[in-house]
Amino acid sequence: MNGPGYQNIKQDWGIDELVTKLRHLRVQSLETRHRRDRPPKLPSRKELQKILDGLGAVLFPNRLGLPDLNDEGIDYFVGHTLDTLLRELYKQIRRELQFTSGHTAVDDAYPQAVAITREFAARLPEVRTLLDSDIQAAYEGDPAARSSDEVLVCYPGITAITHHRLAHILYQLGAPLVARIISELAHSATGIDIHPGAKIGESFFIDHGTGVVIGETAVIGRHVRVYQAVTLGAKRFQKDDDGILVKGNARHPIVEDDVVIYAGATILGRITIGRGSTIGGNVWLTYSVPPGSNITQAHVRSELFHDGGGI
């Protein structure tokens, strides 16, 4: 196939025509979004991944930091690393603010980006405290866990909740796009999809984790445990008079303290799972249950027959 007869074949990929077509589609897309000029740059997934890796090392320097750190060097490492990371995070937040406003001028976004970054930094001790409770909950809740260090470095649920704790703060402070990118980085790495808007209390444990979905307006209390393929989702999507989806309304479940939700359960709508309840595997639940409930597939079927809905 590499003989002389093939050397004379012209390798013409039609690049000029492709460039013209792609330019036309790009311009058309900008006009559709009412943008005739070049839009500001989006935050970078690649840079945010580096920032997240660094923040993990800052929060847990003895386990995720440099391998040769000693007691005397830890504080210097944390301070130096944090200074570098916050400068980079500021740039990504500024990009989001410029993109949202549609302007590339630095002056417009600078003060707000600085304020968001500074407040985010101030809340890092809070994140560390919450993550300690999450790690302890995983260690106590999984008989296979041999140490809290194993939980930190091995469990996808801890990776996901670490990303979420950081993303949720940015979401609250006014950087929802950066927050969403952070949550999607965790989603790609773990298969766990937690929207940064979800509110999650201390000592949260996701066991195994693959396929877990937690929606934007979900509220989860303290000491809650969920297993793989659990969904806390919306039952329906409301539309306005023009047929456009209504954004931001409370549409996901409230899960109170000390609840366990087993694998494959789907809980939909703005309903409340009462404190201390257990939701069995593969249950499909669309109504509130009182504290101390034990909901199984058989229970749900009984309710459906009792109400005359059938199954």
- The predicted structure's pLDDT at residue 5: 57
Max Cα–Cα distance, the chain, nearest Å: 81
Let me know: does 195 contact 212? Beta carbons within 8 Å: no
- Flag whether pLDDT at 223 surpasses 90: yes
Sheet holding 278-279, edge to edge: 205-206, 225-226, 260-261, 278-279, 294-295
Question: Which comes out higher in pLDDT, residue 30 or 106?
Answer: 30
Q: Measured between alpha carbons, how far is 109 from 114 in angstroms, rounded to an integer? A: 9
Pair 272, 187 in one domain: no
* Residue 13 CA from chain centroid, whole number: 40
- The predicted structure's pLDDT at residue 310: 41
Q: Which of 72-81, 197-206, 301-310 has the lowest mean pLDDT?
A: 301-310
The total of structural domains in the chain comes to: 2
Q: Strand 278-279 and strand 294-295: pairing?
A: parallel
Q: Is residue 2 part of a domain?
A: no
- Flag whether pLDDT at 10 surpasses 60: yes
Element (H, E) at 63: helix 61-64
- The predicted structure's pLDDT at residue 247: 81
Q: Is residue 10 part of a domain?
A: no
Confidence of residue 262 (pLDDT cuts 50, 70, 90): very high
What value does the mean pLDDT of the chain take? 90
Q: Is residue 51 part of a domain?
A: yes
- The predicted structure's pLDDT at residue 67: 86
Domain closes at, from 191, 222, 257: 191
Q: Which residue has the tokens 């559709």?
A: 32
Pair 298, 178 in one domain: no
Question: Which comes out higher in pLDDT, residue 22 or 168?
Answer: 168
Question: Which comes out higher in pLDDT, residue 108 or 115?
Answer: 115
Pair 175, 253 in one domain: no
Q: Measured between alpha carbons, how far is 119 from 114 in angstroms, rounded to an integer? A: 9
CA 121 to each of CA 110, 189, 251: distance values in angstroms, whole numbers, following the listed order? 17, 24, 31
Domain closes at, from 130, 161, 191: 191
Tally Cβ neighbours within 10 Å of residue 261: 28
**Domain that residue 262 falls in:** 211-311
- The pLDDT tens digits of the residues spanning 56-75 come to 999 999 999 988 888 888 99
Confidence of residue 309 (pLDDT cuts 50, 70, 90): very low
Q: Which residue has the tokens 């949550």?
A: 183
| 3 state DSSP class of 208 | coil
